[in-house]
Amino acid sequence: MTRRVLVYGNRDELAAEVGGRIIRTAKRTLAKRQSMNIVLTGGTVGIAVLAAVGEHPDRDSVEWARVHFWWGDERWVPAGHTDRNDQQARDALLDGLDLPESNIHAFPSSDEGIDLDEGAQRYAAELSAAGDGELPHFDILLLGVGPDGHIASLFPERPDLIDAPGSVVAVRNSPKPPPERLSLTLSAINTAERVWLALAGADKASALGLALAGAGRYEVPVAAAKGTRKTVFFVDQLAAAEVPAELIASQY
């Protein structure tokens, strides 16, 4: 597994680069296999990446009907709510792609007549049904990073979340609203072939610097995110302020 930091001038450049890499990786993967799985993230940068995919001139060169989309976490609010990561992804990209609805694997919502724990169990079952074991093969897993170093909905100083067993954890008492969420576990995240972390802004610099300096997973959960093949931090110059120069790569 290799770990790299790639730095771009601003958030728009970063989003365009990651969007282009999604398209190129999808084309290479689908040339070898019948289908692939991409795990999406929300947040300003995550949605900007999806918008960049939608605006890319090569967007329609991908056979999107062979791509399955999942999410790293979701807010426990009703379906279609503007705060949901899946709704933002639909608006930014998915509704404009030629793919069947069955390829969009959204987390359950709060208006489905189930509770949070049942929602976690249902998504875990869907993941298991799509793979040979507990999980499908995640070709690309996108993550945003909070100023506190959280990834998905795995927050600092929460061993109950960071060390949660299985593939999906029910999150209560989130430090960010809403208090209830669903999230992939750290162990599930770390099964992905490629973990791509996209972050921009000066408020992310400390978390990134700590993660690369070897901070513990309870202090800075992002420090524990690792792809089985590649772990790449795509960052803008502001977020890279505390990254040692020797850790910055010149290419992917």
Domain span at 220:
2-247
Kindly report, residue by residue over 16-61, the tens digit of the pLDDT.
999 999 999 999 999 999 999 999 999 999 999 999 999 999 999 9
CB 127 within 8 A of CB 68: no
The CATH number of the domain holding residue 135 is: 3.40.50.1360
pLDDT exceeds cutoff 60 at 1: no
53-91 confidence digits (pLDDT tens): 999 999 999 999 999 999 999 999 999 999 999 999 999
Total domains in the fold of the chain: 1
Say if 178 falls within a structural domain: yes
**pLDDT tens digits, 95-112:** 999 999 999 999 999 999
Q: Tell me, yes or no, whether 18 lies in a domain.
A: yes
> Residue 52 domain-assigned?
yes
Q: How high is the pLDDT of residue 235?
A: 97
Closest Cα to residue 85, out of 121, 42, 131? 42
> Taking the model in full, what pTM does it have?
0.96
pLDDT at 251: 74
Is 170 within a domain? yes
Q: Is residue 156 part of a domain?
A: yes
pLDDT for res 2: 64
Residue 123, pLDDT score? 98
Q: Is residue 179 part of a domain?
A: yes
Write the DSSP assignment of the chain as a string of letters.
Answer: -EEEEEEESSHHHHHHHHHHHHHHHHHHHHTTSS-EEEEE--HHHHHHHHHHHHH-TTGGGS-GGGEEEEESEEESS-TT-TT-HHHHHHHHTGGGS---GGGB-PPP-TTSS--HHHHHHHHHHHHHHTSSSSS---SEEEE---TT--BTTB-TT-HHHHT--SSEEEE-S-SSSSS-EEEE-HHHHTT-SEEEEEE-SGGGHHHHHHHHTT--TTT-GGGG---SSEEEEEEETTTTTTS-GGGB-S--
Q: Is residue 182 part of a domain?
A: yes
Give strand pairing partners of 40. 71
Report pLDDT for 132.
80
Q: What is the pLDDT of residues 202-217, one digit of tens each?
A: 999 999 999 998 899 9
Q: Across the strands, what pairs with 154?
A: 151
Check residue 247 and give its pLDDT: 80
pLDDT higher than 60, residue 181:
yes
Residue 252 lies in a domain: no
